[in-house]
Amino acid sequence: MFICPACNGFEVLATSCPECEGEMRDRGRLVDYLDEYSPYLEDEGLKLVDGLKHSTDEHTCLHVLYCSQCETTNEFVVQEEER
């Protein structure tokens, strides 16, 4: 079984904003923003619409990072780990 370390609290995503050098923080999986029910749907099914061509095969999870200083939003690919 592969799990996302960021989704499961094993890793905290934070990086510098490319626009203002402020801190960008994780706002969760991109697919959770698709509609009001997407956070409750099966992960593997959602990977078919996450925008990454091989996210299922390569065991990746696409997250949204947000900078509160300049309101920049970026996507960040997290490598899932086998547990």
Count up the domains in the chain and report the number: 1
In a 3-state reduction of DSSP, which class is residue 59? coil
pLDDT digits (tens, 9 = 90+) for 11-66: 999 899 999 999 999 998 887 766 665 554 455 555 555 556 566 667 888 899 99
Q: What is residue 10's predicted lDDT score, i.e. its pLDDT? A: 94
- pTM, entire model: 0.75
**pLDDT value of residue 24:** 97
Confidence of residue 72 (pLDDT cuts 50, 70, 90): very high
Question: In angstroms, rounded to a whole number, what is the distance separating the alpha carbons of residues 70 and 35?
Answer: 25
Domain that holds residue 23: 2-82
Backbone dihedral region of 11: left (phi > 0), alpha (psi from -120 to 50 degrees) or beta? beta
